[in-house]
Structure 1
Amino acid sequence: MKKYTLLVTGIILSLILLAGCNAENETSSENQSEEKLNLYTTIYPLEDFTKKIGGDLVNVQNIFPPGADAHTYEPTTKIMVDIANSDGLIYSGVGLESFATKIQTSLEKEDVAFINAGEGLELVDMHSEDEHAAKEDTHSEDEHAAEEEDHSDHEHATEEDTHSEDEHAAEEEDHSDHEHATEEDTHSEDEHAAEDDTHSEDEHAAEEDTHSEDEHGHNHGDTDPHVWIDPIRSITLAENIKNALVELHPEGADTFEKNFSDLKSKLEELDTKFSTVIESSDKKEILVSHAAYGYWEDKYGLEQISVLGLSPTQEPSQKELQTIIETAKEHSIKYIVFEENVSSNITDIVQGEIGAEAVTLSNLETITEEQINNNEDYFSLMNKNLETLKKILSN
């Protein structure tokens, strides 16, 4: 009987131990499947889209401090260490974050994913308007140069005609004199031709130098990086993020796909709202502090009159500033757009010159502490932008 009791007890203990092991394995498996990705992003829309797509399967932090200027930001050593200890950095890849490639190079030996959310996007080229303005400015100079060239050619032709008559007279007087004269004439013509060629090359080189300086002085010399203000282009940003999350965490693929689909639908609805408001308005011109709204121009036909360039550090010359003020007056501009993360004394000067009322648009590069505390997101901020546009375009 004792042997039987001991046997039963042994079996029970074995079952308990086995159940405990199975429970431990199941817990370990569950923890593994619920393990979150730790990711960093640059511009705010990438942070918001990653949170919306990743849901409970991701921890997302933005490397930009609240209200920072994304154009001039440089990561700290602490941020570099944080990224090195994370699963990845998501950046726009459209020319805004020059530091991203530097970080990638520095961390090439670390197991960190670098995700280019802007891959495959069609970007707006900001050269064309500046080149047109430069051509307008140099047109009169070109005409003046052409007149001088025509005058010079006419004088040269007259000299050649006179010279021909002199040669003919010299030929009748003395053959030797003719040879000497011909030698001098040939030498003179060669020198003149060389001068013409050199002059032409110098003019061409100067023209190219001027053109290059005009392009460089007016803008980045590249494309507009503010792609996220276009809801349709933002779908591409979101899709690239979704694909990266699926690759990094395949177990969450179904969640990521569903969340992306919901986000895409909301972005399409937002696009329809912007299209309706802007395209139905008779007025299309808005005066802005910096040229962050080129994609609204490209997508909806808006026309931004920008005080500063693509970056807030690109300030206008005195002549350009006067042109901006005159253009604003011509279009009867009553509002001037300021941004939370951009401040400029020059914009204040323009406001004073035209007597415009200040309004605010969010360029969404970064958001402020107040917006964070108010639980704002991409859609709430874009809808506020839409209400501001309604006000601006109704006058």
Structure 2
Amino acid sequence: MSVKPLTLIMIVISVIALAGCGDSGSKLVEGKTNIVTSIYPLYFLAKEIGGDQVNVVNMIPAGVEPHDWSPKSRDLDTAAKAQLFLYNGAGLEGWVDDFLEGLPKDSKLATSEISKGIPLIKGSEEEGHDHEGEADHADEAAHEDEAAHADEAAHGGEEGHHHDVDPHTWVSPNSMLIMARNVLDSFIQVDASHKADYEANYEKLANKLAALHDRFKTELAAAPHKDIVVSHQAFGYLARDYGLAQVSIMGLSPEAEPKAQDLLEISKFVKEHGVKYIFFEELVSDELAKTLAREADVDTLVLNPLEGLTPDQEKNGDDYLSLMEANLQNLLKALQ
């Protein structure tokens, strides 16, 4: 049976229209509470706590480093029609004020800063430790000042980044528990009719996060070494909460490249303190980490700051919990 020309034209128009639905505007779902998140960890929390009652749109695509990203007009259009926008805060999303000012006057979008309530790491405190159980880490105290000096030296020229605090709050399961509660409260504020569902989902997630926190605390406390050398200064909260000392090649923004002298100082630190691995991450170049590892004659391992998923991780169904479990195993391997 032949298809009439007019019918064929209508089919083509319909296909084009449906293809357009794959763009940002179609990410919103009528009949559900639409949530827009700025980064993957918030997307994870929103999906877990929201369950079937919400539709969650994460603004940053898989494989994109958040420090390099800024919203487009289509992102503003999507957010304007949603009910809730979750952002981390603590200086991570430098674009957020302008973004929110750009919303149309009739937008009913509620906003929530999810890092609120977490004691933030400022300035030189980025090398601070969790002093609970300090007696068990006498060797850590002995070289704390040296670790701080090495890290400070590596970031002496970072004036251009304008970071007053470390924004990577979610990298610690302990902080993630606080963030989960903030997401729950935000959901109840915009959709009180499903409060019981949100609370039930939150309890399940909080139990998993608490179990992960306990494992990090117990197993890292038993590790014989406490120094981690990382490519990107994203692990201050993890170091603080679990008694580690972070020394980083680059600063709070992974764009900052150290000087040759900085690399030599960190290499000296690695050799003097028996560091066996240099940690790198998937969303930024591993060139500096591998260069330092060759200089210090050590190996490299992944330590994921969970700023976003790679396309492969997304395809494999990895999430915050599975990737943090992988982080713990790599930390335990490196700290033996």
Cα distance per residue 1:225-276 (max 9 Å; x no partner): 1111111211111111111111111110000111112211111111110011
Identify the match of residue 363 of structure 1 among 305, 318, 335: 305
Specify the code of the residue in structure 1 equivalent to 2:57.
Q
Aligned-pair RMSD on alpha carbons?
Answer: 2.4
2:126 and 2:236 in contact (8 A); partners too: no
Match of 1:127 in 2: 124
Residues 163 and 252, structure 2, Cα contact 8 Å, conserved in 1? no
Following TM superposition, by how much is the alpha carbon of 1:112 offset from its aligned partner in structure 2, in angstroms? 1.2
Partner of 1:76: 72
| 231, 238, 255: which one aligns with 2:180 | 238
Question: Contact between 2:39 and 2:308, CA under 8 Å: does it hold in 1?
Answer: yes
TM-score under structure 1 normalisation? 0.67
Give the AA of the match of 1:286. I
Shift of 1:219: 7.2
State the one-letter code of the partner of 1:235: L
Q: How does 1:67-146 map to 2 (within 5 A)?
A: 67-107=63-103, 109=105, 110-128=107-125
In the alignment, residue 58 of structure 2 is paired with which amino acid? Answer: N
Aligned mate of 2:199, from 257, 277, 285 = 257
> Which structure: larger Rg?
1
The residue correspondences of 1:1-395 to structure 2 (distance < 5 A) are 35-107=31-103, 109=105, 110-128=107-125, 217=159, 220-394=162-336
Q: Go from structure 1 to structure 2 and tell me whether the alpha carbon gap of 1:39 and 1:353 turns closer, same or farther (over 3 Å shift).
A: same
Name whichever structure is richer in helix by fraction: 1
Q: Deviations over 1:90-111 (max 9, x none)?
A: 1001111111111111116222
SS in 1 for 2:55: strand
Task: Return the alpha-carbon distance in structure 2 between the equivalents of residues 217 and 325 of structure 1.
Answer: 24
One-letter code of the match for 1:379? L
Matched to 1:116, the amino acid is E
Amino acid at match of 2:190: L
1:107 maps to a residue whose letter is L
Aligned to 1:305, the other structure's residue is in SS state: strand
Q: Aligned pairs, how many?
A: 284
Q: Give structure 1 stretches of 5+ with no counterpart.
A: 1-33, 138-212
Q: Which amino acid aligns with 1:70?
A: P
| Cα 1:221–1:35 shift into 2, 3 Å | closer
Q: Provide the secondary structure at the position in 2 that maps to 1:235.
A: helix
- Secondary structure at the counterpart of residue 263 of structure 2: helix
Partner of 2:139: none
Q: Shift in Å at residue 49 of structure 1? A: 0.8
The Cα of 1:72 is off from its aligned counterpart by 2.1
Could you report, residue by residue, the CA deviation over 1:349-370 in whole angstroms, capped at 9, with x for unpaired residues? 2122112222112111101111
What secondary structure does 1:115 align onto? strand
Would you say the 8 A contact 1:218–1:309 is kept in 2?
Answer: no
Asked if structure 2 preserves the Cα contact closer than 8 Å seen for 1:117 and 1:240, the reply is: yes
Secondary structure, aligned partner of 2:66: coil
For the 8 Å contact 1:36–1:58, the answer to whether it is kept is: yes
In 1, are the aligned partners of 2:279 and 2:289 still within 8 Å (CA)? no
**Equivalents in 2 of 1:384, 1:214: separation in Å?**
32
Contact persistence 2:91–2:165 (CA under 8 A): yes
| TM-score computed with the length of structure 2 as normaliser | 0.79
Q: Is the 8 A contact 2:91 2:163 kept in 1?
A: no
Name the amino acid aligned to 1:352: R
TM-superposed deviation, 1:289: 0.7
CA contact (8 A) 2:41 2:306 kept: yes
Distance in 2 separating the partners of 1:341 and 1:262: 30
Q: Partners of 2:288 and 2:162 in 1: how far apart?
A: 19
Q: Distance in 1 between matches of 2:325 and 2:161?
A: 29
Deviation of 1:347 after TM superposition, in Å, equals 2.4
Amino acid at match of 1:368: T
Aligned equivalents of 1:312 and 1:253: distance in 2? Answer: 39
Partner of 1:169: none
1:270 and 1:126 map into 2 onto residues whose CA distance is 28
Report the Cα distance in structure 2 between the residues aligned to 1:218 and 1:324, rounded to whole angstroms: 22
